[in-house]
Structure formats: C-alpha cells, structure tokens
Amino acid sequence: MTKYNIKIYKDIKVKMRDGINLYTDIYLPCDPEYNTTNNTPILLERTPYDKKALNLTERYNYFCSNGYIVVTQDCRGCFASEGELYFLTQEAPDGLDTLDWIGRQNWFENSNKNVGTFGTSYQAWTQSAAATQNPKNLNGMIVNMGGSNAYTSTVRQGGAMELRFIAWAFWHSASNTNSSLKSLETDLAINSYNFENALNNWPIKKGLTPLSLIPNYERWAFDILTNTDYDEYWMQPGFAIDEYYDDHPDIPMIYVGGWYDSYTRATIENFVGLNKIKNSEIKLIIGPWTHGTAQPEITFSGDLEFGQDASIGSFKDFHLAWYNKWFKNTKPKNDSNYLYDAPIKIFVMGSGDGRKTKDGRLFHGGYWREENQWPLKDTNFIQYYMNNDNILSKTKPNTNNSSTYIYDPNNPVPTIGANISSLAGVHPLPPGTKNPTDVPTALRRYSIVNPGGYNQKENKQFYGSNHPYTNLSERQDVLSFQSEQLTKNTEITGPIQCVLYVSSDSMDTDFTAKLIDVYPHSDSFPEGFAFNLTDGILRMRYRDSFKRENFMKKDEIYKIKIILYPTSNIFKKGHKIRVDISSSNFPRFDFNPNTGEPIGLNKKQIKANNTVYFSDKYPSHIILPIINR
C-alpha cells in the first residue's frame, strides 16, 4: 500500500454558531514532493483530551500516511479551544458546526467527499452527539465504547449515580491546560487533591472542594449528580442519543465494545436501535475487553486472561479496514483480518482451563463467534430462583422464606471489579513542584477501582476493603445464592435482568445484583475463584418510573426489576452460577443514605433493614439467556 508524506496545519480556528473558536489541526496526505493528494477520504475526531497528545497524534499520523485527511479538534473549553466545557451537551451543536465547516474547505472539494468519524469514550460521545443533528457531511462512523443514554446507563444507572464521572470532573479539570480555565494557584490546588478524599467523605459539598475553584466544572458535576429525574435535562441530544435515532443519518456504522467496558449496555443499545430503522450496514463487535482505545488489542481484563485470540490485532488497521471498504472501495489483503460477514461478532468467554498464568491471572479463555441478531435467535430465557439455604435453582420455591440484612451507608459493599472506567485519583505533586505542567496529571493518574473480572474477595488493592479481607459472600449485608455444580457446560449470552420482591423499613434504599462465575477449588487457586461477570442497581424511589420519585412505605413488599449489563460466558461443567444481592456497590455507584433526601445533597444517613423474599408468592429470581447449541 502507498505510504503518504504528511503536511500538518495546526490550531486552525473553527468558529461555532455562538462565535466561539474551536482549535483544529488538519493532517493532509502528500506525495513525495509534499504536494497534497486529491480524491482522499476524511476522518474526524473531536477530543477533550488534547489533540496534540502523543497517543492521539500517533494515530492521526498513521491514518494520514495511509491516505486519509485527518481533522482533529479540541472540544469546547478543552486545551487550545475557547469557551467553557459543559459535560457532553455541547457536543451535538459543536459537532454539527464542525462537519459543516469541513464541507466548506478547499481540501474538502479536492477530497472524495467521504467523511468518517472515530474515537473512544468521550470521543465516541462526540460522534454520536453530532449524528443526532443529521449532518449532511457524515458518511460513516466507528464508535468505540460510547453512550446511548447517559441517564439509563454510563452516567447514571437505575436511578443511582456512577461516581466515575464526578471523578472525571476532578482529574480532567486538573489535566486541562486551557489558558482561561484556572490560575497557577488553582492549578496547584486541583492537582494536589485526590478524589479518594471525596469518596471518604461522600457526598461532596458544593463550594468546599478545589473543584469550586473551577466553577463551570463544579456546576455541571453537581448538575449530573443532583438532577435525578429523567426529564428534559437528560433528554438533550448530547446525553440521550437514543432519543434521536430517527434523526441519525443512514450511513455505515460499526459499534465496538467490551464485556467489561463501562459502555457495554449502551454499545448494544445503539446497534440494536439503529439497526432496526436504518438500511445501511451497521455492525457490532464485542470482545472481553475493559474500556479504552488500546484495550481491543489486549488479551486480559482484570485478573482474567482470555488468550491471544482475544486481541483484535491492530486497532488502527481495524479502522483502516472499515473505511477502506466504504470510502476507498478497496480491500487490501490485510483488511480481511478485520472484516466479518455477519452483523455481530462476539467473544464468548469461558473455554479456558482455569490455570494460573505466569502473570498470576486465571486463564478463562474463550473464542469468537458471528451472530445475526441480538438477542441471539435461539436464546432461552430461563428463570433461576433464589431459595432457602442460599440455593439458586430452576425450581420455584414452595415455602415462605425471606432474608433481612442491615444496610449501613457508613459501611458499603466495596466494588471489586466491574464495568467501569475513569474512576481515578491523582497522586500528589512531588514536593517543591512550582507548576503542575512539570509533572503532567496523566502521569500521576491511577485507577481507584480497577475494571474487569476479579475474585470477589476484599483485598488492599480494592478501595473500601478492610482487614481481614473476607469474601464478599461472607458479609452480613450480602445475600449469595449459588447453584449446584453444573453437570454440563452452560452458555449465557445476552441481556440479563433480576426480579426481586423486597421491602425495607426506610422510605428509600437501593438493591443491587451481581452475576458471578464460581470456579471449583484447584491447585492453582486452592481457595477457589469466584469472579464478577456483570452487575446492576435500582434506587427504590425510581422503581415505578425514572421520571418521578415514589417513596416506599415501611415494610410493604414491592416487585422490582434490576437491569444488569449484557454478557457472554460459558459456565463450565463443575462450576457454579452465583447471584449476590445487596444494597450497595461503592464507589461504582453512590450509596443511598436511606433518608429520602435529595440525592447528592443529603445531610444525614441511616441504617436500613432490607428484606428479600423468595417464596411461591414472591419468587425472586434472575432471568438468564441460555444458549443451547
């Protein structure tokens, strides 16, 4: 394949409809004499993470050297661009204005007039937000691990707050070098603050953390924390992509996700929702990955190893294969490694032998498989009932049983592995540092909660764990229901929900559900290994509707439904299926104070006596998507 030289135009001002300039770099492919080439496609990425960061520019140079014009832009209020950042909502109009601007440039006239977008996480949101405006200059998308509806999952979930985006406000404001954002004193203050301090004293108080020194960040952080009803605020295009599917252009799109990504549910929702109503080719690929641009090339998630087949290969070449097909009408030999025929390609986890690898991980294994629809055509949704004596089975209980536990917000169940990202802290500046840019935030950032699958046992590496580091199932506020050892391999692939019958002596509380694969004891793991596959939460004031609160009556029994993220896993013969029920999963989610006060603004917190029922009249159960082939 021809490799092109590159000419870069930096910090071009692109004026938005309100007069704000967003600074933009343009990478133009050139011949050996550095004359720009014609009839080339265009790729756009809009980022809040600094368009000149090395991990980004390496991709831009690669795409450009392979014959693509690359346009990259700092989002509003980020790094070189003017204005103030307001989380996500600005990206729909700014994205549309940028695409319109591209269509007016001379190099656009000399291109082949195909414009595609790419990017991960926030850069996936920027793509989808722009697409809600039905832009005329958008011809293809690669959306890697992005949102569908910020309220229903990824920012909030089940009425609770995913605290990762409050953490994001702290560390992103610390890393953002926008010249108008903060003084040197403010920069030193925010870069000296660790979000673990906020978690240790949750909830944060407005005006009393260093975030208050950056008012626009504090404003939107408290907005997403305290706007708890699903209303017009959350229905804005930048938040609620799924509310605007009809306005989305009918173009080729591929949605990339991971079973341990923070956007698993959203990735599948986008694929399903758009595939139903569009005629263009829309595809989905989900690996066993956690969140990030590099993760599709990696073979492990948390303490689970999946083998070399789990890697997608070169994620940059994956992008080129997709856009070469649609924008260049070519299919280089290497591209066949990345393209697939069916609409869906998934990695089914769990074919490994459970040995300990040289890196200390459990070899869980797995394999790729192509599918034609979601949920899979031959899915059998089977109810597994919670019974007395901590038993999970297909047999419905015929006696009246229940379990009551005390949920104490001062001692929440710690998050051990999860579909999570961005819940990070920042290590302190070295003594004597006079300017934070001397020791960039990115080099000091670390994960407070690690994503992926982990043995569900407390450990000092997991925030909130306490000595003597017991199994979560041993906690008095965790109800564990476990099947008998399986007599054959059992595949679970698809959406999952947990139906509970519950009561409480508080007017509001939470219930959580977690699906766990329990390995038998082995020489590699003599104490066994029980790892998280997926989880979910429901805040009881939103059990009837996310649009309005409805508080509980003391000790009244309610039927509720908890949505867990989809997954794909083979529970091998000899394993057990386990479901853990509790009322907290912190700091993945904010904890419920049980008082009924406005969320995020509570002044007190109390213990709650929460009860789960499992009887003929109140048959609590989990619905698992069983695949028999």
Domain span(s) for CATH 3.40.50.1820 in the chain: 5-156+233-328+335-371
Measured CA angle at 295 (ends 294, 296), to 5 deg: 100
> How far from 418 is each of 501, 514, 531, 568, CA to CA, in Å?
25, 10, 10, 15
- 3-state helix, strand, coil split of the chain in percent (to 5) is 25, 30, 45
Per-residue pLDDT at 331 exceeds 80:
no
**Nearest to residue 510, comparing CAs of 520, 500, 522?**
500
pLDDT over 80 at 98, yes or no: yes
Q: Are 258 and 146 in contact (CB under 8 A)?
A: no
How many other β-carbons are positioned within 10 Å of the β-carbon of residue 358?
6
Find the helix packing angle between 184-191 and 164-175, rounded to 10°. Answer: 140
Question: Tokens 């559900």, residue?
Answer: 513
Architecture of domain 5-156+233-328+335-371: 3-Layer(aba) Sandwich (3.40)
| Tokens encoding 55 | 């991990």
Q: φ, ψ for residue 411 (rounded to 5)?
A: -140, 65
Nearest Cα to 22, choosing from 178, 157, 166?
A: 178
- The CATH superfamily of 379-417+452-627 is Galactose-binding domain-like (2.60.120.260)
Condensed to tens digits (0 to 9), the pLDDT of residues 209-225 reads: 999 999 999 999 999 99
What percentage of the chain exceeds 70 in pLDDT? 100
* DSSP element (H, E) containing 539: strand 529-539
- Counting residues of the chain whose pLDDT is more than 90, the rounded percentage is 98
- Flag whether pLDDT at 1 surpasses 70: no
Work out the average pLDDT over 564-579: 98
In the prediction, which pLDDT does 336 show?
A: 82
d(CA 321, CA 140): 13
DSSP assignment letter at 452: S
Say how many Å lie between the first and final Cα of the chain, rounded: 42
- Give burial (CB, 10 Å; 0-12/13-18/19+) of 409: buried
Distance CA 160, CA 31 (A): 54
Give the whole-angstrom CA distance, residue 617 versus residue 399.
9
Record the pTM.
0.97
The two three-digit tokens of residue 268, written as one number: 């599948």
CA 41 vs CA 59, 77, 328, 618: distances in Å: 16, 28, 8, 59
- Confidence bin at 180 (pLDDT 50/70/90): very high
pLDDT per residue as tens digits for the range 269-308: 999 999 999 999 999 999 999 999 999 999 999 999 999 9
CA distance 589 to 343: 33
Quick one: how far is CA 117 from the chain centroid?
19
Per the prediction, the chain carries an average pLDDT of: 97
Q: 494-540, pLDDT tens digit by residue?
A: 999 999 999 999 999 999 999 999 999 999 999 999 999 999 999 99
Instruction: Look at residue 335 in the predicted model and tell me its pLDDT.
Output: 81
Cα-based angle 455, 456, 457 (whole degrees, multiple of 5): 95
Torsion sign (Cα): 133, 137, 139, 140? negative
pLDDT at 253: 98
pLDDT at 330: 80
Q: Is 272 left (phi over 0), alpha (psi -120 to 50) or beta?
A: alpha
Would you call 359 helix, strand, or coil by DSSP?
Answer: coil
User: Using 50, 70 and 90 to split pLDDT, how confident is the model at 329?
Assistant: confident
Tell me what pLDDT residue 22 has.
98
What pLDDT shows up at residue 187? 96
Looking at the chain, which residues constitute the CATH 2.60.120.260 domain(s)?
379-417+452-627
